[in-house]
Amino acid sequence: MSDAVIKAEALSLTFQTNDGPVHALKDINLEIGKGEFVSFIGPSGCGKTTFLRCVAALETPTAGSLTVNGLSPDDARRARAYGYVFQAAGLYPWRTIGGNIRLPLEIMGYSRAEQAARVKQVLDLVDLAGFEKKFPWQLSGGMQQRASIARALAFDADILLMDEPFGALDEIVRDHLNEQLLALWAKTEKTIGFVTHSIPEAVYLSTRIVVMSPRPGRIADIITSTLPRERPLDIRDTPEFLAIAHRVREGLRAGHAYDD
C-alpha cells in the first residue's frame, strides 16, 4: 500500500519497571491505508491500547519507526490529525452536550459561527440532534458515548482512534452503536483504528482485524475481512462471518491468549 496513513516498522515499546523491563510492544510491522477500518483485538496486556496510544503520541516508542500521515506521531498530534475516543465518554458535567463538542473547537480556535455549524453537523451525524442543550447526566451511557464520538469528529481529523469505546456498555446498546458506527464510517470515509476485546464486534466492524498476543505484545495474525461493506446486523449469523470469527479465535489461541 503506497497511501499508508499509519505505518509502523519494527516498532517496540519497553517500559522499565521495578520488576524489570516489560515489553508492551515488540517488532510491530503494520500499515493502515486510507479509509480502512482496522480493529485490534487481544487479551489485556497484548499492547493493543499501547499501540493506539503510540499512534496518538500519548506514548513514545523505544525502537522502530512510526509515521502518521507521513509525519512523526507528535507532529501529527500537533497538526490535529486524529480524533481519539476513550473508553469513558469523558464529557464535562459543567458543559452541555453542545458545549462539550465545542470544547476542542474552542481550543483549536475555530470561529464562533464555524463552531456552531460543526456542532450541529456532528450531532446530526451521531443522531443526537436536539440534545445540544442537555447536560451529560441527562443522557444514557450509550448517548454519552455517541456525544464523545461526535466530539472526536467535530474537527477535521481524517483519522479516528477508538480505544474500547463501547466496552462499558451493555450488548444491546453496543449492537446499536456498532451499526451506527459503520454508517458513520461510510458517510465520513475516515480511517479508523478500533481497539476491542469482543470478537463479534471486531469481525462485524472491520476491513482488517489485527490479532495480538501478550508478553511480549506482538501481532499474531492479520485477517482481511471478506465481508461486504454493507453490513446489516444479521450478517453475524452467516457462515462467512462465523468463519472469520473462527480465524480470529484461532489467532488468539495460537498467541496463547487463552492460557493463564
**Where does this chain bind other proteins (CB under 8 A)?**
56-58, 77-78, 80, 82-84, 86-88, 90, 92-94, 103-104, 106-108, 135-137
Minimal distance, residue 82 CB to other proteins, in Å: 7
Rounded Cα gap, residues 248 and 239, in angstroms:
14
Residue number with CB closer to other proteins (98 or 216): 98
Minimal distance, residue 33 CB to other proteins, in Å: 22
Residue number with CB closer to other proteins (90 or 200): 90
Contact of 226 with 194, CB cutoff 8 Å: no
**Residue matched to cell numbers 482488517:** 208
**Residue matched to cell numbers 451521531:** 126
Minimal distance, residue 96 CB to other proteins, in Å: 10
Contact of 253 with 195, CB cutoff 8 Å: no
Q: List 161's β-bridge partners, or say none.
A: 84, 193
Residue number with CB closer to other proteins (137 or 228): 137
Contact of 216 with 23, CB cutoff 8 Å: yes
Residue number with CB closer to other proteins (165 or 255): 165
Minimal distance, residue 35 CB to other proteins, in Å: 21
Q: What are phi and psi of 29, to 5 degrees?
A: -120, 120
Minimal distance, residue 174 CB to other proteins, in Å: 20
Residue number with CB closer to other proteins (2 or 17): 17
Rounded Cα gap, residues 75 and 109, in angstroms:
18
In whole angstroms, how far apart are CA 128 and each of 104, 161, 177?
A: 18, 21, 13
